[in-house]
Amino acid sequence: MFKAEIKSETLKGLVYIVSTLVDEVKFTISPEQMSLKAIDPAHVAMIEINVGAKAFVSYEATDSEIGLDLDKVKSVLKLAGPSDNIVMEHDEAQGRLIFRIGNITRRMSLVDTSSMNDPKVPQINLSASVQVGIDQLQKGIRAAESISDHIALEADPEGFELSCEGDTDMANLRVPVAELKGLKADTKVSSLYPLDYFSNIVKAIPAGTVVDVQLDNDYPVKLLFKLADGEADVCYFLAPRIESE
């Protein structure tokens, strides 16, 4: 059983973030929270989201699983205005999810979840951690685009740096420690990541969010942030590029 009401903005935020990686996703639902884990088809990036019951306007559920086609969900979201609430209800008999937005009812057939395995989330310890406003990151991405297809993230005790170097041009964004919300870096660390993944996720994060960027030398980056007024936790992993050998 699953019945919940959620603000359309919250759902939109979640769906757009997940859809940067996968087209179909399995939600695992429990009485306390809704969660999902997904890895992209190229096995380069991974995401884990836990949405607590408090992120919803109302929430009632027993343990169950729901498989959703995210493109369809996006089309439903287009029906909702920013201030609307969306009611979701799982029709187990028919294998459908029912969305109600104002007077609109949309019944959506679900995706079979039996072949969808939850990836395990890696346990990684990263030495540096930077708390930075998403707006800064988005600025950096905009500067880096069309220069190269990869981007370097760098942290040292004095600040955080995004840089991108192409064959002829380069761009970088340096945020000094004073403009960061927090910084923990004992030494200088830096890694190179595929820009398209990084830019997709950064663009999908709603404005005003503070992101905890955890880094190390030539190692995956972990982005931690909260959505829905702090009630939804998102953890995103991105593997670095292979440096030339």
Partner 1 sequence: MTDDWTEKYRPRSLNGIVGNPGAAATMKAWAESWNSGTPDKRALLLVGSPGIGKTTSAEALARDMGWGIVEMNASDQRTGNAIHAVAGRASLANTFGDDGQYLQASAGGRKLIVLDEADNLFGNADRGAMPAINELIRTTKQPLVLIVNDEYALTRKSAAVKGGTLRIAFRRPTSATVAGVLKKIAAAEHVTVSPEALIKIAANAGGDLRAAVHDLESLALGKTDVTVNAADQLSARVERNDMYDLMGAVFRHSDPAAARRILQNSDTDPGTAELWLDENFPYELRNTGDLVRGAERLSRADIYLGRVSRRQYFGFWGYANDLMTYGMIDARHSDSKSFERFRFPMYMSKMARSRAVRGLRGALCLKLAVWMHTSTKRVQNDVLPYLRLLAVRDPEIQITLIREARLEPEELGFLIDQKMDSRTVKNAYKTAEAETEAAVRQPAPKKKRRIAKTAPLESDTVAAVMPAALPVPSAPEPLQAAEKKPSAPAKKVQKNLFDY
Q: Note the residues at the interface with partner 1 (CB under 8 A).
A: 39, 41-46, 114, 117, 119-124, 193-194, 196-197, 218-220, 237, 239-243, 245
- Distance, CA of 109 to CA of 69 (rounded, Å): 9
Tokens of 52: 């607590």
Largest CA distance in the chain: 60
* C-beta closer to partner 1: residue 103 or 123: 123
Instruction: State the nearest-atom distance from the C-beta of 121 to partner 1, in Å.
Output: 6
Tokens of 36: 């999902």
Instruction: State the nearest-atom distance from the C-beta of 41 to partner 1, in Å.
Output: 5
- Distance, CA of 106 to CA of 245 (rounded, Å): 53
Q: What is the DSSP letter of 10?
A: H
Instruction: State the nearest-atom distance from the C-beta of 150 to partner 1, in Å.
Output: 8
Instruction: State the nearest-atom distance from the C-beta of 61 to partner 1, in Å.
Output: 26
Query: 138: helix, coil or strand?
Result: helix
* C-beta closer to partner 1: residue 2 or 237: 237
Query: 83: helix, coil or strand?
Result: coil
Q: Are 28 and 65 in contact (CB under 8 A)?
A: yes
Instruction: State the nearest-atom distance from the C-beta of 245 to partner 1, in Å.
Output: 4
* C-beta closer to partner 1: residue 42 or 170: 42
Report, in angstroms and rounded to the nearest whole number, the Rg of the chain calculated over CA atoms.
19
- Distance, CA of 130 to CA of 234 (rounded, Å): 16
Matching residue, tokens 């998403």:
134
* C-beta closer to partner 1: residue 78 or 245: 245
Residue 69: partners with Cβ closer than 8 Å, 6 or more residues away: 23, 24, 108, 111
* C-beta closer to partner 1: residue 97 or 202: 202
Instruction: State the nearest-atom distance from the C-beta of 9 to partner 1, in Å.
Output: 29
* C-beta closer to partner 1: residue 112 or 179: 112
